Structure formats: structure tokens, C-alpha cells
């Protein structure tokens, strides 16, 4: 069934979300407070000194599909919105959404109809998709952290020379909430999410901002990504990159089936095997 633009625009699809989509008291209050307290008052509040570590200085993790399998949640949320709009949507179409910001994904979903919506209408649809996504996200617990991720993060932290700095760089605006629900906020020195960049992946802005916050050299960073857009962004930032999973087709320095296959030694070798490059 094709999208009925007149039915959708400022009609029943764009009215205030029904009660099942509305935030609960805990969502709007205590969860927000928990995220603020855990992040602003935690490790991310520290401003690190410039790293002088030879070789690997930082590892930048994508979130969805790398540290946790919330990529499935995004697919289900977009599929639900597409069904409500009468737009065809499947996993093949969803592949182009991986690692891409919410508003850009919405334009992809609306296709030829995107130009007929004003920004306020698009925002309402994006918010509706986010409400669908958050229904699923709220089920996350520390048990949902990807196998092997904890060991890798702790191994990087425990290196005898002071360790390697860690950050999350995600297109998701819910990244900090997800980290809090997973109980892994304190693994990271910085987080850059979709609300903090004006140009999403494959633009390198997010990765370069993370390197700036960590005070490390981009060429001494390794990015771990599961999406082509993220791998292209890492390369554009002058960083080494590892492609996770079987769905990536973009060029990367090495590949792994899952984060559990990545080792501290393999990350170090990626940087030490290449001469340092200047980055303007």
C-alpha cells in the first residue's frame, strides 16, 4: 500500500503519540537523572592530558551492533513505523540505515515523499520511531553486553603503561541511556552521540570530535564498527578500523566476526604496523 501523504500529514499519524508511546514517570525523571549522574559526574567529566603513549592511544567503539545488539531494535522500530505509514520496508532496505542518523534514515524511508514534509512533520515521525525503539531498549540489562566486550575493554584499561583511552561514537541519540542500562558507562572516557554532530557518518566529524575530547592523535586510534558508513567515517578521519560481522562491505584494515574475536594485541599491531600520518 503506497504512502498516503494527505492522510499522514498532520493527520492521525502525526498527532500526539498514544499513551503506550508516552514516557513513564521513571523514563522522564529518574532515568534521565541516572544518565546525568552516571555520565556527567563519572569518568567522562575528567579532561585528560594529551596522550604521549607510543602506538595505540585510543579505541573508538560504535555502539549498536558492536557493544550490544540493538541494531535489531532499530530495524523493528523502523519496520513498525513503515507499516503504520504503508511503506514497504525489509531487512535489505534496513541495511542502508545502519550507522546512519535518524533524520537521514527517515528521508530514506519516505523516499520520493520526503520533500512534501516540512521539518516539524518529519520530527514528529522521527520521534514516533524513537518511541517504538525506546520500548525495546528499556528491556536491556547488563546481560545484553556483547560477549567479549568486557574483557577487551578491561584489557585495554589494564595495560601497564596507563592504558588506552576508550570512547563510544554512535549515531544514536540514545547512546548514553543504552550505556547506563547496560551498566558500562564507566568503561569510557568520552561519548559522542547523534545529538552532538551536525554531520553524521560517513562524515568523520564524530570520530574526530572523540579524538579531540580524548586528546589523542587520530592516526593512533582504532575504530571498531559494524556498518559501512562508520568504516568510511573512520578512514576519512585517518584512523585504522576493524569491521565487525558479515554485513560490512566497505574497506577496512581487518575484519572480525564479533567483538569477542578482537584482542588487545591485534589493536596494538594495527597502529604499530603503519607509519604515523599528519592530520590537519
Instruction: With respect to residue 218, please indicate whether it lies within any of the assigned structural domains.
Output: yes
Query: For residue 209, what are the domain limits?
Result: 42-69+142-272
Q: Is the model's pLDDT at 156 over the cut of 80?
A: yes
Please count the structural domains in the chain: 2
Q: Which of 56, 62, 70, 94 is nearest to 244 (CA)?
A: 62
pLDDT tier for residue 279 given thresholds of 50, 70 and 90: very low
108: domain CATH number is: 1.10.150.240
205: domain CATH number is: 3.40.50.1000
176 and 89 belong to one structural domain:
no
Q: Is the model's pLDDT at 24 over the cut of 50?
A: no
10 and 55 belong to one structural domain:
no
Q: Is the model's pLDDT at 38 over the cut of 90?
A: no
The pLDDT of 119-140, averaged and rounded, is 95
58 and 121 belong to one structural domain:
no
pLDDT tens digits along 185-229: 999 999 999 999 999 999 999 999 999 999 999 999 999 999 999
pLDDT at residue 4, as a whole number: 58
Asked whether the beta carbons of 201 and 171 are under 8 A apart, the reply is yes
Task: Single out the residue in 137, 168, 185 at which a domain terminates.
Answer: 137
128 and 62 belong to one structural domain:
no
Q: Is the model's pLDDT at 167 over the cut of 60?
A: yes
pLDDT at residue 8, as a whole number: 62
Task: Single out the residue in 137, 153, 177 at which a domain terminates.
Answer: 137
Active site residues: 62, 64
pLDDT at residue 99, as a whole number: 76
pLDDT at residue 98, as a whole number: 81
The pLDDT of 84-109, averaged and rounded, is 91
pLDDT tens digits along 50-84: 998 989 999 999 999 999 988 889 899 999 999 99
Amino acid at each position: 500500500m503506497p504512502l498516503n501523504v494527505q492522510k499522514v500529514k498532520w493527520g492521525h499519524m502525526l498527532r500526539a503519540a498514544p499513551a503506550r508511546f508516552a514516557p513513564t514517570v521513571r523514563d522522564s525523571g529518574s532515568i534521565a537523572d541516572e544518565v546525568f549522574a552516571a555520565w556527567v559526574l563519572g569518568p567522562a567529566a575528567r579532561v585528560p592530558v594529551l596522550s604521549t603513549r607510543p602506538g595505540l592511544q585510543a579505541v573508538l567503539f560504535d555502539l549498536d551492533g558492536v557493544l550490544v545488539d540493538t541494531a535489531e531494535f532499530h530495524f523493528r522500530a523502523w519496520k513498525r513505523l513503515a507499516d503504520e505509514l504503508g511503506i514497504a520496508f525489509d531487512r535489505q532496505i534496513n541495511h542502508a540505515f545502519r550507522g546512519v542518523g535518524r533524520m537521514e534514515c527517515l528521508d530514506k524511508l519516505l523516499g520520493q515523499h520526503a520533500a512534501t514534509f516540512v521539518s516539524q512533520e518529519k520530527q514528529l515521525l522521527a520521534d514516533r520511531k524513537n518511541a517504538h525503539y525506546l520500548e525495546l531498549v528499556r528491556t536491556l540489562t547488563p546481560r545484553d553486553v556483547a560477549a567479549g566486550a568486557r574483557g577487551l575493554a578491561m584489557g585495554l584499561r589494564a595495560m601497564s603503561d596507563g592504558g588506552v583511552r576508550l570512547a563510544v561514537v554512535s549515531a544514536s541519540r540514545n547512546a548514553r541511556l543504552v550505556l547506563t542500562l547496560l551498566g558500562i558507562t564507566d568503561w569510557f572516557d568520552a561519548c559522542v552521540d547523534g545529538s552532538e554532530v551536525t554531520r553524521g557518518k560517513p562524515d568523520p566529524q564524530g570520530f574526530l570530535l572523540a579524538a579531540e575530547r580524548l586528546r589523542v592523535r587520530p592516526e593512533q586510534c582504532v575504530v571498531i564498527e559494524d556498518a559501512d558508513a562508520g568504516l568510511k567515517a573512520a578512514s576519512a578521519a585517518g584512523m585504522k578500523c576493524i569491521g565487525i560481522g558479515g554485513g560490512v562491505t566497505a574497506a577496512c584494515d581487518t575484519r572480525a566476526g564479533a567483538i569477542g574475536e578482537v584482542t588487545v594485541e591485534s589493536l596494538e599491531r594495527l597502529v604499530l604496523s603503519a607509519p604515523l600520518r599528519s592530520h590537519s
